[in-house]
Amino acid sequence: MWRKLILTLVVLGALLFSVPRALAQEKSYSAERFDVDIVVQNDGSLLVTETVAFTFVGEPFTFVFRELPTDRTDGIEILEASVDGRPYPQGTNAGQVEIENGGDIRVTWHMEPTANTTRTFVLNYQVLGVVQQSGGVDLLRYQALPDEFEYSIDSSTITVRYPSSANLQAAPTVTTGGFQAERSGNVETFTQQNINPDETFVFEMAFEAGSLISAPPAWQSRQAEQRALAPVWIGIGVVIILAGTVGAFWIWRTHQPQTVMQMAKGTAVHYEPPNDLPPAIAGVLNGSGASPSWSNALATLFDLADRGILSIEEIEDKKWYQSRNFDIVLQKEPDNLRPHEEGLLDLLFEKKQGRQTAVKLSKLNNVVTGKQWKKFTEPLEAEIKAAGYIDQARKTRRQWVIGGSIFIFVLGMLALVGTPLVLDSMFGAWPLAVAFALFIVFVMLIGVGSSLTILTDEAKMMADEWQSFYQYLKDVTRRKAAVGETNMFNRFLPYAASYGLLHQWAKFFQKEGWTELPPYFHALSRSGEENMAAFVAMAGTSSSSGGSAAGAGAAGAGAAGGGASGAG
């Protein structure tokens, strides 16, 4: 008996729970009709009356809105807004209408919560300066329905009434929408059924010139004035680009080392390191800016490991959600290290708790932070400067060029932002030609500035030799150059790392079947192929670790009207 009673209670509970859900209706709305009555005035303005019958279903609705764009008009004046024949006074409470003026005009009917009923919303407004002079006629081009609305419309009737004195030159043209047209005297009627969301309607009517307006509307006159000034703005942009091009070429030409310009064409291919520079310094000099990067730190790491100071050990506690990880282990600390080599060891192993003997490769992103990174870069830059490789005057000029290019970029941004905010009303979008020109000059100058060397003539000649060696290593990874000696992989590994080629270098030799790895690298596997796969994984991880250190149109286009409509 108890079982039957419990079962009955469960069934009743389920019914009580499901019945309200079944009775509840999803919140939605649609328009039974969206009718627009347009009366064309003798001054080219329009008196518009929009009548929309909305059916609301489900949860209550509390507002309806209509947005009216002012583009291609001399302004819009709201005359009256009503609901079910009752005019709404202005305000933000229920039973009032809110009118917000701005670039567009937004009308919001605030109503008491409304559900499962149909209500009729009427909006009367005047649109000034719609009829324009075009092609020898007085042209009315208008978008009678919004172009943004999420509801369906069962039917729509657009009625256009024009003065009997206005001579219609040809049948109206429907440029957007599937409305059917019908004429009766000086009244044109357009109708359509079953209109989908965002399916708008645009029409054109051409009247005899002077039968509606004797002068173009203010917005059209303003556009004509702006177009007349367009060649001026374009000319200013062209002058800026030409001046920037000449200036960029002059800067590049006058700041190039003369000895390098004379000898660059004769630089031979280097299949061996040109001299005994440490890999990190060779990698820095290979660029024009002499700025250390994470690749140079990796080169030092592998060079120290090759000298028995460091080792790289694969970690056994690999998790299923992690890739392979490795420890960089400090084996010894000799006294005869270069300053940048000591700086790298401090960067890797010096922590708040004291000197460590190992650091995980995957943790280098945490180790190499802004302040910590200087432990390596500052001594390396000091060594390069002490060796006499830096021309201070060239470095200053390079900074001035890059700083000037950034200043030009800021001017371009000001022109880009200021045009729509300040200049558009006077000159239209044509001042953007100046912004575009400034951005082109910025790109040219930043490119030239970045390419200017800060090295002395002698250092630049040496850097070109290292550039040739770098190109050779790069060609090897691309199979454009032959592999040299049998121990090429291990011997040139620090240089490949310094040039940012570490992962490509390891992948290439893996595909070549290389299995002889440096003695300082200890993988978990005893298989040669598996060991090489582990080295490739380490190369990929180390190349990405610490990377942050281095860088411490609408359907009614061209027509007045349109806008948006909706409810909520």
For residues 230 and 319, give the distance between their C-alpha atoms in angstroms, rounded to a whole number.
65
What pLDDT does 117 receive? 94
Angle 326-532-330 (CA atoms, 0-180°, nearest 5)? 35
The yes-or-no verdict on residue 10 having pLDDT over 60 is no
The yes-or-no verdict on residue 287 having pLDDT over 70 is no
In this structure, of 31-45, 276-290, 315-329, 440-454, the range with the lowest mean pLDDT score is 315-329
pLDDT-based confidence at 22, cuts 50/70/90? very low
pLDDT-based confidence at 2, cuts 50/70/90? very low
Mean pLDDT computed over every residue of the chain = 85
The yes-or-no verdict on residue 542 having pLDDT over 70 is yes
DSSP state of 88: P
Instruction: Find out whether 357 and 330 touch, Cβ atoms under 8 Å.
Output: yes
Residue type present at position 273? P
What pLDDT does 368 receive? 62
Minimal CA–CA distance to 178: which of 201, 204, 205, 155?
201
Tens digit of each residue's pLDDT (9 = 90 or more) over 175-185: 888 899 899 98
Instruction: Find out whether 289 and 454 touch, Cβ atoms under 8 Å.
Output: yes
Answer whether 0.85 is exceeded by the pTM.
no
State the greatest distance between any 2 C-alpha atoms of the chain, in Å, as a whole number.
108
Tens digit of each residue's pLDDT (9 = 90 or more) over 64-107: 999 999 888 989 999 999 999 999 999 999 999 999 987 789 99
Instruction: Find out whether 559 and 72 touch, Cβ atoms under 8 Å.
Output: yes
DSSP state of 396: H
DSSP letters, 334-386, are -S---HHHHHHHHHHHEETTEE-SEEEGGGHHHHS-HHHHHHHHHHHHHHHHH
Structure tokens at 183: 């004429």
What pLDDT does 333 receive? 86
Alpha helices in 139-217 (DSSP H): none
Instruction: Find out whether 73 and 138 touch, Cβ atoms under 8 Å.
Output: no
DSSP letters, 104-149, are EEEEEEEEEEE-SEEEEEEEEEEEES--EEETTEEEEEEE-S-SB-
- pLDDT, greater one: 309 or 562: 309
The yes-or-no verdict on residue 420 having pLDDT over 80 is no
